Amino acid sequence: MDSILVTGNGPLNGQIPIAGAKNACLTLMPATLLSEEPLTLTNAPRLSDIKTMTALLQSLGAEVSSLQDGQVIAMSSHSLTSQTADYDIVRKMRASNLVLGPLLARFGQAVVSLPGGCAIGARPMDLHVEGLEALGAEIELKDGYLHAKAPGGLKGAVHEMRFASVGATENIVMAATLAKGTTVLKNAAREPEIVDLVECLRKMGAQISGEGSSTIEIQGVDRLHGATHQVVTDRIELGTYMLAPAICGGEVELLGGRMALVESFAAKLDAAGVSVTETQNGMKVARKNGRVQAVDVVTEPFPGFPTDLQAQMMALMCTAEGTSVLEERIFENRFMHAPELVRMGANIEVHGGTATVTGVETLKGAPVMATDLRASVSLILAGLAAEGETTVSRVYHLDRGYEHVVRKLEGVGAKIERIKGE
């Protein structure tokens, strides 16, 4: 298994290009199942999760080609052969559950294994099921699979979600595009990836309004057609690399970054003493003077502080002046990076969903283990700021969500290399 060797090397300076959003691409790809005509995505990130979704769509009979070094994904669901998403693929990645809504809408039936993915909590699918049932689907859980059918087709309805789940919003919106009549989805998630999905669905002929707010209205249409769509910038990759100069010092420009994607996160960095400004080509981040100051963080659905940046922010707080409290409200069990950061000399106490971090002047390099996608990159950030060498093992987690991480960080002066394992 490969590992990543990081050696603390002082301030970082230069530019880092930000890729298209993994989480947007993973919901845009299943949208191909809604139409017989081709859907092409540009600005796609080159990640193992995208390969997993490709394999899943191909297992359903879709044609999926990766062009221009993986940055363009051309898909056609003209002649699908299966409506079953198998456990062997779904267990690798929770976002596989996003084929449920589209398959059900187009074929009136779908069988989808309950998902796997990062081990960061129970992550059930009850909110997806409740929303699709509101549209008239009958769904049963048998042998680890959700068996869904809608013999007379889906019908528009007013539905209020108990919690603004990102995936459930995406599944329900996709399903409603082909339902009869109007669907009003209340307490919908507002993440930029949902706005991106709706923009793409609209290009395919869907009639949707209200995306980005907590009420989305979908007027069902008989069919959707082909489209080409550019995947939105990855705000989590953006936020992660914004932390690189924050933790190491220096000044880095994030190409393609936009403030609107990371407003609450940028506000926290500003409060910690890190300057964030928009430039013509993206955003510039620089540490103002000396050590960053401790700030408290509470993770919340968008536009709040993203849970997917909590681990990386914790790495920064490990080196801050003062004590910060990080409260995780989206996923239970999402502090698995904390004991690894402690191995590097961090002072962290975890009680339930709250971590209290007292900053230390310097972290020390150590062998550490990645436990999930965002945890893995938080250990790399900590390693960049630490004295000596840090080896991060189990980097397959990293490959799920960060393309060319070594190349991107080397480009701004980091000392980082990938060590090939057996």
* Residues with a known catalytic role: 118
Q: How far apart are CA 214 and CA 341, in angstroms?
A: 36
Q: Which of 237, 308, 328, 399 binds ligand UD1 (CB under 6 A)?
A: 308
With a CB cutoff of 8 Å and minimum separation 6, the contacts of 107 are 80, 83
Query: What span, in angstroms and rounded, lies between the C-alpha atoms of 14 and 244?
Result: 11
Number of residues that bind ligand UD1 (CB under 6 A): 22
Regarding 165 and contact with ligand UD1 (CB under 6 A), the answer is yes
Measured between its terminal Cα atoms, the distance across the chain in Å is 6
Query: Residue 90: which residues within 8 A CB-CB, separation 6 or more?
Result: 56, 96, 97, 112, 113, 114, 115, 116
- Dig out the tokens for 292 from the structure: 């960053």
| 167 is a contact residue toward ligand UD1 (CB under 6 A) | yes
User: How near is the Cβ of 166 to ligand UD1 at its closest, in Å?
Assistant: 4
Of 128 and 408, CB closest to ligand UD1:
128
Cβ neighbours of residue 198 closer than 8 Å, sequence gap 6 or more: 173, 206, 208, 211, 216
Q: Is 408 in the site for ligand UD1 (CB under 6 A)?
A: no
Backbone phi and psi for residue 18, each to the nearest 5 degrees, phi listed first? -100, 135
> Which residue is nearest to ligand UD1, using beta carbons?
167
How are strands ordered across the β-sheet holding 323-327? 297-298, 323-327, 354-358, 347-351
Can you tell me which of 12, 127, 315, 379 binds ligand UD1, judged by CB under 6 A? 127
Please name which of 403, 356, 394 lies closest in space to residue 375, comparing C-alpha atoms.
394
Does position 35 interact with ligand UD1 (CB under 6 A)? The reply is no
The only residue of 95, 274, 326, 338 in contact with ligand UD1, by rule CB under 6 A:
95
Of 170-209, which residues contact ligand UD1 (CB under 6 A)?
193
Report the nearest approach of ligand UD1 to the CB of residue 43 (Å): 17
User: Which one of 122-130, 201-209, 259-267, 319-327 is the stretch in contact with ligand UD1 (CB under 6 A)?
Assistant: 122-130
Minimal distance in Å, beta carbon 173 to ligand UD1? 12
Residues that bind ligand UD1 (CB under 6 A): 23, 26, 94-95, 121-128, 163, 165-168, 193, 307-308, 330-331
